[in-house]
Structure 1
Amino acid sequence: MSGRREPVPFAFVAEAERFRSNVTPPPRERASVGQVAGRCLLGLTLVAGLVGSLVIGMPALSADPSGAGDRQSQATEGR
C-alpha cells in the first residue's frame, strides 16, 4: 500500500497537512505574584460560595417526616 491518499482537488489543502512553520512563537510571559494571588483568591471565593450554598440549602433539600407529622397533628387538634 502506498503512502499517498486519494487525490485532492486543491493542492494547497494537500500541502497544508505537511506544512511546518520554522518560526517559533515567543515564550509566554510568567504571571506576576499579584496575578497568581488574585487567581487563588478568586478560586477560593468560588469554592467557598459553592460550599456555603450547599450548607445553607441542605435543610431545604432534606425531607423531615417528623416535622410534617407534627404539623398535621396540630391541624387536626384545632378542629
Structure 2
Amino acid sequence: MFRRREPVPFAFIAEADNFRSNVTPPPRERASAGQIAGRWLMGLTLVAGLAGSLILGMPALSQDPSPAHTQHSEASDGR
C-alpha cells in the first residue's frame, strides 16, 4: 500500500550558490527635481507637525505646583 520513496538528490540547490549570471540589471532611474522637492516637503511637514504638537502639548504636560484657583465647597463654609 505505502511504498518507500527514493531519496531526491538536492545537488541542484548546492550548485545554485555557485551560479553567477552575466546579465546586469538595468540602472536605477534618477529621481526628478519634483520628486526630490516633494520628498523634502513631506519630511519637513512631518517634522513641523511633530514639533508643533510637542510645543502645543507642553502646557498640558507641565505640572503646576500652585494652582491659581482653588475650589471651595459651600459645605466647608460652616453654614
What's the TM-score, normalizing by structure 2? 0.72
- Which runs of 5 or more residues in structure 2 are unaligned? 1-8
User: What is the deviation of 1:10?
Assistant: 0.9
Bigger helix share: 1
Structure 1 gaps, min length 5: 1-8
Aligned-pair Cα RMSD in Å: 1.8
| Partner residue, 2:45 | 45
Which residue is equivalent to 1:59?
A: 59
Among 71, 74, 77, which residue is 1:75 paired with?
A: 71
Number of equivalences? 67
Q: Which runs of 4+ in 1 moved over 4 A?
A: none
CA distance in 2, matches of 1:36, 1:52: 24
User: Distance between the aligned counterparts of 1:66 and 1:17, measured in 2?
Assistant: 71
- Give 1:36 shift: 0.6
The Cα of 1:76 is off from its aligned counterpart by 3.8
2:71 is aligned with what amino acid? A
